[in-house]
Copies of this chain bind each other. A is one copy, B any other.
Amino acid sequence: MGVTLDTVARALGVSPSTVSRAFTRPELISDETRYKILAVAEELGYRPNHAARGLATGKTMTLALLVPDIANPFFPPLVRAAEDRAQEAGYSMLLADTDEHADREGRLLRQLAGQADGVVLCSPRSPAAGIRRLAEETPLVLINRAIEGIASVSCVTSDGMRQIVDHLHTLGHREIVYVGGPKSSWSNQERSSTVRRQARKHAMTAHVVGPCPATFEGGFAATEEVLKTTATAVVAFDDMVAMGVVEGLRVAGRQVPDDISVSGCDDGFFASISSPALTTVRSSSAAAARTAVQILLTHISSGEHQHDSVVLEGHLVVRQSTGPAPRKSRQRQ
């Protein structure tokens, strides 16, 4: 069942190749025959068979995108941007959620690599060795993780985090606490150490709480630990955690930013509409995605392995959740 190239060719008494060319190399045949072919094909309801074409050309015209969890608000804009760029170039996009699970990631990686001409892997959790092995066989670009010899584009927030600490220092804060995200997260380690280093530079005290899940609940739960310190500001791993902390503080009777300041990271769409609107670091995940796909396309079309390691700096966005340090340091409990 199905109308194929041959069906169309026979209907017109031409060869299958001619029909094929009518679709893929219009410039090689006469306008007249091409027009006839297109008409008959349309009439017969001919649909090119993607798999067959892929087999013959060795190209699938499909890219794969692996993200930890599309339901995490950091990713939708990224996915959208990647898909747009892919579509512009005529590629379809396979999407898969790894669920932040190394095994699942590895399995999906192999599965999808066999189905696509290239893959974009976001925030990989699996061992570098496995990824590297796959990168030798398939064009691969990493987002938010660098592995020697593999192309990557990273949204780096260290600069933004530094700015946050400076910002807090300027506001008079002298004791802050960093509320960490998932332990295995590379970003978390980067942010944590940046905050501590910059605090030290200003002779500020920096506590660290966590790790905890990068969720509202994670931040909410971490509030208890936060309140054990006398810090006047908390720097959260990301916006979700920050919002959880804000709520936790509210429940504990603390006002943000009057009693205590809170900052997030990522500048997801809700950062600006939460209340108070979050001071945060804007990391352009969309730009990262576009860049990653672009590198992938270059790799695919040139056949040359890419190693570019692009770094996109985030920057501070000041909103209402940070303010001057309260006059007198909070009393413990």
A: which residues have CB within 8 A of B?
A: 45, 47-52, 54-55, 60, 62, 69-71, 73, 75-77, 79-80, 83-84, 87, 92-97, 110-115, 137, 216, 240, 243-244, 246-247, 250, 269-270, 272-275
Contact = CB atoms under 8 A, between A and B. Distances in A.
Contacts of A96: 83, 87, 92-93
Contacts of A93: 94-96
A247 B115 CA distance: 46
Given A95-B95, A270-B270, A60 B50 contact: yes
A75 B83 CA distance: 15
A114 B48 contact: yes
Nearest to A216: B273
The 7 A-B pairs of least Cβ separation, nearest first, read A51-B54, A95-B95, A50-B115, A51-B55, A216-B273, A71-B80, A71-B76
A272 B243 CA distance: 11
A54 B45 CA distance: 21
B49 A55 contact: yes
A47 B115 contact: no
Contacts of A83: 70, 95-97
B71 A77 contact: yes
B94 A92 contact: yes
Contacts of A47: 110, 113-114, 137
12 contacts: A45-B137, A49-B55, A49-B114, A51-B54, A62-B115, A75-B76, A92-B96, A92-B111, A94-B94, A216-B273, A273-B274, A274-B274
Given A50-B60, A246-B275, A270-B274, 10 more contacts: A47-B113, A50-B54, A51-B54, A55-B55, A69-B80, A70-B79, A71-B80, A73-B73, A83-B95, A92-B112
A52 B54 CA distance: 8
A9 B127 CA distance: 31
Contacts of A45: 137
Nearest to A244: B273
Given A94-B94, A96-B92, A275 B274 contact: yes
A170 B11 CA distance: 70
A77 B72 CA distance: 9
Contacts of A62: 94, 115
Residue among A47, A216, A246 with the highest chain B CB neighbour number at 10 A: A47
A54 B178 CA distance: 51
A243 B272 CA distance: 11
B70 A80 contact: yes
A97 B111 contact: no
B92 A50 contact: no
B95 A79 contact: yes
Given A54-B51, A73-B73, A79-B70, A94 B97 contact: no
A70 to B, nearest CB: 5
A270 B271 CA distance: 10
Contact of A70 (B49, B54, B76, B247): B76
A92 B62 CA distance: 12
Contacts of A76: 70-71, 73, 75-76
